[in-house]
Structure 1
Amino acid sequence: MTPREGPLSIEIEKQSVQNDYLIVDVDADIVDGLNGFNPVGLGSRFRKTRNYTPISTVGVGDVLSVTVFEADNGGLFSGEAGNSVQFPKIVVDRGGEISLPYTGAIKVKGKTPVQIQDLVVASLEGKAIQPQALVNVVRNENNVVTLNGDVAKPGLYPLPTKGARLLDVVALAGGAKYAARETFVTLQRGKKQGVQLMKTVIEQPNENIYVSRGDRIYLSHDPQRYTVLGAVKKPSVYTFDAATISALEAIAAAGGLQDERADATGVFVFRYESPAILDALNISYNKIRLGKVPTIYRINMKHAKSYFYAQSFHLKDKDSVFVSNARSVEIGKVLGLLRQATGSIGNVAGTVNRFD
């Protein structure tokens, strides 16, 4: 075999059938389709809490402050301080109940402070003089979320009564340790789990979802990378130095095409593509295959318009950009090998003649 770096363009195309991978020629429709596709993120996976503010409710272990007011003197709660009394630090017991004088046990688990106020008033009807109640949550042990990973201050964080969005909770924890483009957010809610890039959460409001009681949030530092190989000046693994990197920018980062070697018609982006994206692009593939589909996007840089396509074709994490050698380069290598072989034969012949 002749020494070379990677397959030729024609070989990639010929081997696509037997190796069961797709070759997709990049044009305006492909670029628009890829850029317009919205993957399933936090907003779609947890859509029940996307469009409204959740109401915080009281749970076991929460500490409440209850104040009862009466309309006139001489009532149950009248005294030197007036016609009211405050009951601080009332803990919701394991049964989800609290007890106050003259009220008996009141079931408060799952109730809002306003609902608990109504229950207190109802329990005092006929006993106190036109009672009114005020209930506040002093310490919230139940309505909390857990935040761990690459944040400044991991721990348990209580949710305010008005609710809180994902970025609000991250801010309470001092923010992420690393850049948003290098940080992923994993949110676990019951049996559901969703993952999203922090930068996407910041830029797309529907991804900045309301968190719910008991949510577990984990931030992880995972810089996105891509590889550039083949007939470029600096083949290597590169880290995304911006939120998005185009195929054209990736080639430029690798020093550009090697003019004497590169096949400008054979610029390829290797990717394991999501079936949902291929369906959205109306590209047929072997649907028997489970999981992502090995796909090669081909960009013909011989055409001027393809530079616009390459500029708009955004790379994803773990993509590989490959620039194949020109066919003439391979022919030149073969001729070089033949010249070396011919020269060696000539040298041997000359040595034999000297012995003669």
Structure 2
Amino acid sequence: MLRILLALIVSASLAGCVFTPREGPLSAEIEKQSTQNDYLVVDVDSKVVDGLARFNPVGLHSKFKSTSHRLPISTVGTGDILAITVFEADQGGLFTGSSGNRAEFPKVVVDNKGEISLPYSGTIKVKGKTPLQIQDLVVERLQGKAIQPQAMVNVVQNENNVVTLSGDVTKPGLYPLSSKGVRLLDVVAQAGGTKFPARETYITLMRGSRQGVQLLETVIDQPDENIYVSRGDRIYLSHDPQRYTVLGAVQKPSVYTFDSSTISVLEAIAAAGGLNDNRADATGVFVFRYEDPKVLDTLNIGYTHQVRGKVPTIYRINMKHAQSYFYAQSFHLQDKDSVFVSNARAVEIGKILQLMNLATSSVRNIATTGNKVEVFSD
């Protein structure tokens, strides 16, 4: 009877290998399940590392490519105040007076119809025109009335060429655009800067129906991303620290924030206290990421499954190879990436042996108890 009981307990222990508690799948299970769950497993090598490093995600420069490096044209709009001076070539003309052969109109307001009105010129449609174009219109209206007229137009109060800046800045509000052009960082500087570090702040630019988002630190580091702003742009700065997660067989699994502009897989593992020597499978260091399909195209990796436009991808690094430490050092994490270190197979076998020892111990205890019962019966 005791032998039968022992066999049953040991069999249950061996069958229990499927149910031994652990924090995540083994390396082999991730490989096997990839064909069932429609995610990619990509082994990291020099080609993958170089391809990821060369890929440039769509930023503000690409999103607003048509105007990103072109100086915006400053035009007049409703509410703007103009200073207009008209000159004549000789005495005795329409504007001859104590100040000479000229007339000054220092505060000409563009009305809600986008028009202004000047003596001898009548009503002029100026909305959407540049100061130089308005000068030509004034001169045209004065032809045949004034003596070889000339005009000079300046915008003294700009109510139309403004951008809206809001969010995590010191002084949110409306900011005018100068004729020399204003870039994103110029507007942020006018607002007194941001409330949080640049690596923790995202800048969103909304222009009509288009919208682009970029990390402020990237805008600072990459001049191409510091694009010209245009009239009517809405700029929003938000504090959203980049984070990554380290799980599995490491010393300190947790969620970590980026403490620099870039974090490599090697630095992430080091921040988590390194691999757990008693548990970690060095061949199973994984980075979980919803990857941009364009990245996979760049790497010539085929895929079929998409979630929200992204492809669920697992990058695998075999840390038993010395070369892989260079790959891990060059593989930079992205916001919301997850690094997972799987348990070694030996750890699972150890758990099974513990269960067998527990089962054997239980049988011995039962046997001892049974013997005592038999002695007592005699």
Q: TM-score, normalised by structure 2?
A: 0.92
Matched, 1:238 2:256: yes
* Runs of 4+ with deviation above 4 angstroms: 287-290
Q: What residue in structure 2 maps to residue 201 of structure 1?
A: 219
Contact 2:169–2:188, Cα closer than 8 Å, also in 1:
yes
Q: What residue in structure 2 maps to residue 341 of structure 1?
A: 359
RMSD: 1.2
List runs of 5+ in structure 1 lacking aligned partners. none
Q: In the TM superposition, what are the counterparts of 1:123-162 in structure 2 within 5 Å?
A: 123-162=141-180
Contact 1:267–1:301, Cα closer than 8 Å, also in 2:
yes
Contact 1:56–1:143, Cα closer than 8 Å, also in 2:
yes
| CA drift at 1:51 | 2.8
Q: Which secondary structure does the structure 1 equivalent of 2:100 belong to?
A: coil
**Letter of the structure 2 residue corresponding to residue 92 of structure 1:** V
Matched, 1:97 2:115: yes
Q: Deviations over 1:215-254 (max 9, x none)?
A: 1111111000000011111110000000000000000000
Matched, 1:178 2:196: yes
Q: What residue in structure 2 maps to residue 46 of structure 1?
A: 64
Q: Which has the larger radius of gyration?
A: 2
Q: What residue in structure 2 maps to residue 259 of structure 1?
A: 277
| CA drift at 1:81 | 2.4
| Aligned pairs, number | 356
| CA drift at 1:289 | 5.7
Identity %: 75
CA distance in 2, matches of 1:281, 1:152: 42
List runs of 5+ in structure 2 lacking aligned partners. 1-18
CA distance in 2, matches of 1:92, 1:56: 15
Q: Which secondary structure does the structure 2 equivalent of 1:167 belong to?
A: helix
**Letter of the structure 1 residue corresponding to residue 66 of structure 2:** K
CA distance in 2, matches of 1:287, 1:250: 28
**Letter of the structure 1 residue corresponding to residue 169 of structure 2:** V
Q: What residue in structure 2 maps to residue 29 of structure 1?
A: 47
Contact 1:55–1:162, Cα closer than 8 Å, also in 2:
no
| CA drift at 1:195 | 0.7
Matched, 1:122 2:140: yes
CA distance in 1, matches of 2:177, 2:233: 11
Q: Match for 2:38 among 3, 6, 20? A: 20
CA distance in 1, matches of 2:21, 2:319: 25
CA distance in 2, matches of 1:111, 1:290: 43
Matched, 1:272 2:290: yes
Q: Match for 1:7 among 10, 25, 41? A: 25
CA distance in 2, matches of 1:122, 1:113: 14
| CA drift at 1:15 | 0.8
Q: What residue in structure 2 maps to residue 80 of structure 1?
A: 98
**Letter of the structure 2 residue corresponding to residue 26 of structure 1:** V
**Letter of the structure 2 residue corresponding to residue 263 of structure 1:** D
Q: TM-score, normalised by structure 1?
A: 0.97
CA distance in 1, matches of 2:177, 2:123: 26
Q: What residue in structure 2 maps to residue 228 of structure 1?
A: 246
Q: What residue in structure 2 maps to residue 111 of structure 1?
A: 129
Q: Which secondary structure does the structure 2 equivalent of 1:349 belong to?
A: helix
CA distance in 1, matches of 2:188, 2:68: 17
| CA drift at 1:79 | 1.7
Contact 2:306–2:312, Cα closer than 8 Å, also in 1:
no
Contact 2:84–2:154, Cα closer than 8 Å, also in 1:
yes
Q: What residue in structure 1 maps to residue 7 of structure 2?
A: none
Matched, 1:305 2:299: no
Mean Cα deviation higher: 220-229 or 200-209: 200-209
